[in-house]
Structure 1
Amino acid sequence: MIDTSFRNWLPTWCGGRRTPESFRRTNSRVSRLAVQYDAEVDAALQRLWPKARIYHDREFTRDRADFLLVVRGRGVMIETKVKSDPGLFHGSTLPPLLDRLQRDGRRLVVLLNQGDPTPARDLVTTKLGDKGRIVVWSGPHHDTELREAVESLLHQTSRHP
């Protein structure tokens, strides 16, 4: 369903950005799922790394990750992606983020709520090499995969290529 409320779209016409909070006012099922998914991911990060620092980027942008997880002084960027269907995830929205992280030499875990991430996994590997991972995470029963992905990136010896 399209958001036809003039007050919600006017700021974007004038150069403003939409934030996750502004998505809440839309009728988009995916937007509502994304807000809920981010909250669940935040809780999982706190549960898995209780002593870590977790920073959440509240501004909606394509070239910055949703979370920065700092564990034992080392950082991993976390990007969340929500699909409304269990089909293939191509990662068409990832290139601006991947380009930025490739330049910065940062590590990234992409968390996908459902679907087959094979095409996007190839994209992430091409751009970031061994500094990127994609994990299908839809709840605590996938915590092991999330922990393994993040820890494997934290154990890399060099931050920069």
Structure 2
Amino acid sequence: MIDARLHRWLSPLLGRRHPARRTPESFRPRGTSSRVSRLAARYDADVDEALRRLWPKARIYHDGEFARDRADFLLVVRGRGVMVETKVKSDPGVFRGSTLPPLLDRLARDGRRLLILLNQGDPTPARELVAAKLGDRARIVVWSGPEHDDELRAAVEELIRQESRHPL
């Protein structure tokens, strides 16, 4: 029987590397192989493609590892940054934003702009939570494909027009 830890140490030495693990920019399920994780990986790739399509000259940075207090993307358009967090629901129900408080707390301290992209559902309760923490420096948009690009573009443009990222 092979010890998994020993196998992990020997694999790189023997040349058996997983190509997806060497590229932090790749979109792969985080943590588990659940259905939601696979949907999240696909959704992240679709969002990346949409951001590149809508703002071809923008710089897009991806967070290489999963953390509840950091956004998935940083979109820099015309020198102004917008943090982009993606949320995936497997059902079309209500999105309450229960996973958002660590990210909202951090961004409230940092004074950054935030766009939350939801694949489906009703984000009304989450909008109230986000407005209470970040005010007008955050938006939630339901985006599930190119047919919603206009809402995505309007939300990002509205956020980057803001003069200061720090509250008065």
TM range (shorter): 0.7 to 0.9
| Residues 47-126 of structure 1: pairs in structure 2 closer than 5 A | 47-126=53-132
Q: 1:49 to 1:22 in 2, by over 3 A?
A: closer
Normalising to structure 1: TM-score of the pair? 0.85
Q: SS state of the match for residue 117, structure 2? A: strand
Normalising to structure 2: TM-score of the pair? 0.82
Deviations 1:13-65 (A, max 9, x none): xxxxxx964637x4410000000000000000000000000001020000000
* Aligned pair partner of 1:23 in 26, 30, 37: 30
CA distance in 1, matches of 2:78, 2:28: 31
Check whether the contact 2:115–2:156 (CA below 8 A) recurs between aligned residues: yes
Q: SS state of the match for residue 62, structure 1? A: coil
Q: SS state of the match for residue 87, structure 1? A: coil
Larger Rg: 2
CA distance in 1, matches of 2:141, 2:98: 16
Check whether the contact 2:29–2:40 (CA below 8 A) recurs between aligned residues: no
CA distance in 2, matches of 1:122, 1:22: 29
RMSD: 1.5
Deviations 1:102-158 (A, max 9, x none): 000000000000000000000000000000000000000000000000000000111
Alignment gaps of 5+ in structure 1: 1-6, 8-18
- The equivalent residue for 1:40 is 46
Segments of 4+ in structure 1 off by > 4 A? none
Q: 1:152 to 1:70 in 2, by over 3 A?
A: same
CA distance in 2, matches of 1:27, 1:79: 20
CA distance in 2, matches of 1:122, 1:79: 17
- The equivalent residue for 2:11 is none
Number of residues of Structure 1 aligned to a counterpart in Structure 2: 143
Alignment gaps of 5+ in structure 2: 5-23
Equivalent AA in structure 1 for residue 146 of structure 2: P
* Aligned pair partner of 2:143 in 133, 137, 146: 137
